[in-house]
Amino acid sequence: MATIRDIARRAGVSVSTASLALNEDRRVRQETRRRVVDAADALDYHPMRAARTLSSGRTWSIHLLDPAIGANMSSGFFTRFLRGLHDAARDGGYTLTLTVPHDEREARAVLKRLVAERWSDGVVLMNPSDHDGVLEDVVAAGFPHVLLGRSPVPGVSSVDNDNVLVAADATRHLVDRGRRSLLLINGPASRTFAQDRARGFLEACGADARVTGRVVNVSGAPDAAAPALAAHLDAGHALDGLVAVSDPLAIVSLRALHERGLRVPEDVAIIGMNNDDLTQYTNPRLASVELNAYDLGRDAIESLLARIDAGGRTGGEGRRMVTHELVIRESSG
């Protein structure tokens, strides 16, 4: 196994110069750095992580915390988001680690240890609620971070879709198809994405005097959509259009409507969100909103690495927005 001394000898430089060159120190001339890198490639040199950490003062690790606490996140969205995180971290020379806490109390305890024991150089957070202790803790600690979602806490760096517009666009699509009695099957009311999507849905419904719109909030597994939908229908509410904040919720709703003898889209048009792979295999195929989860993941890491490179001093909060697109299929009529 080649060592830094072997690299230095082959490149004709001192050990210290070879080390500085491999760590991209600006004091090393470009010609010298190229010679050192070529020597390292020729010898198939791979520096020990511990040595790299010691010389740079970094762990070269990014930690993902809290991916799934009660937020109705679809597996398809999370998989694409995670791939975007991974690819951008890899491109920046970092590895990605993951903790799945059961609740906010555990998440806060993990974050405290992560900061105090320096498990990583930065943290990716998800699924903010309207009273989020984890966000308050990370801001108070001054630790490099990025959040997927709209933060209720000032001073947080984030990436997000415009969830008000996401829901409004989905709702207007059904209204434009002639639907007048609409229902939004939403996520937990405490989650900021659910608050924003309820706002967009109701604003779109309110823009047309012929349209009525109601919101039901569910949490936990997607199966929660079935009793929520049943309660809406059993209460005598008219229904000819349904918007769901995730594709699994929409798929459960499609099945529940079928079991009640209601046809999709003839009786009730449906549109989901996330554009999961399964949307192409339902009957009828499910219309959805593409949230570009991969781009959200890449943007999150790029934002976080900028904060790390600046020593965490990036002037407070910043918010990157990623676009969305409607994906029209047969379920929306």
DSSP count for the chain of H helices, then E strands: 12, 12
187, pLDDT greater than 80? yes
Interval 305-321 mean pLDDT: 76
Listing DSSP states for 4-64 in one string gives: HHHHHHHHTS-HHHHHHHHTT-TTS-HHHHHHHHHHHHHTT----HHHHHHHHS---EEEE
The confidence score (pLDDT) of residue 312 equals 58
For residue range 165-179, what is the model confidence (pLDDT) as tens digits? 999 999 999 999 999
Q: At 316, is the pLDDT very low, low, confident or very high (cuts 50, 70, 90)?
A: low
Listing DSSP states for 164-217 in one string gives: HHHHHHHHHHHHHTT--EEEEEE--TTBHHHHHHHHHHHHHHHTSTT-EEEEEE
Determine the topology of domain 4-56 in CATH.
Answer: 434 Repressor (Amino-terminal Domain) (1.10.260)
305, pLDDT greater than 90? yes
The confidence score (pLDDT) of residue 68 equals 56
Nearest residue to 296 (alpha-carbon basis) of 47, 57, 88, 74: 88
Q: Higher-confidence residue: 33 or 162?
A: 162
Q: Give the number of C-alpha atoms closer than 13 A to the C-alpha of residue 247, restricted to the C-beta side.
A: 25
Architecture of the domain made up of 163-291+328-332: 3-Layer(aba) Sandwich (3.40)
Q: Which range, of 19-23, 91-95, 246-250, 322-326, averages the lowest pLDDT?
A: 19-23
- Say which CATH superfamily domain 61-161+293-323 falls into: Response regulator (3.40.50.2300)
Residue with token string 């020729």: 42
55, pLDDT greater than 60? no
Q: At 199, is the pLDDT very low, low, confident or very high (cuts 50, 70, 90)?
A: very high
Q: At 105, is the pLDDT very low, low, confident or very high (cuts 50, 70, 90)?
A: confident
Interval 309-328 mean pLDDT: 81
Tokens matching residue 72 = 């109705």
Measured between alpha carbons, how far is residue 46 from residues 41, 49, 52, 242 in Å? 9, 9, 10, 55
Nearest residue to 67 (alpha-carbon basis) of 79, 50, 51: 79
Same fold for the pair 4-56 and 163-291+328-332: no
Highest mean pLDDT among 65-69, 250-254, 313-317: 250-254
Q: What is the number of other CB atoms lying within 10 angstroms of the CB of residue 40?
A: 21
67, pLDDT greater than 70? no
Q: What is the CA radius of gyration of the chain?
A: 24
For residue range 213-263, what is the model confidence (pLDDT) as tens digits? 999 999 988 999 999 999 999 999 999 999 999 999 999 999 999 999 999
Mean pLDDT across the chain: 90
The confidence score (pLDDT) of residue 168 equals 98
The confidence score (pLDDT) of residue 313 equals 53
The confidence score (pLDDT) of residue 181 equals 98
The confidence score (pLDDT) of residue 129 equals 82
Residue with token string 């690495």: 305
Q: At 58, is the pLDDT very low, low, confident or very high (cuts 50, 70, 90)?
A: confident
45, pLDDT greater than 90? no
Q: Would you list the domain boundaries of the chain? A: 4-56, 61-161+293-323, 163-291+328-332
Percent of the chain residues past pLDDT 90, beyond the cut: 68
Q: What is the number of other CB atoms lying within 10 angstroms of the CB of residue 52?
A: 17
For residue range 69-96, what is the model confidence (pLDDT) as tens digits? 555 566 789 899 999 999 999 998 899 9
Q: Higher-confidence residue: 276 or 74?
A: 276
306, pLDDT greater than 60? yes
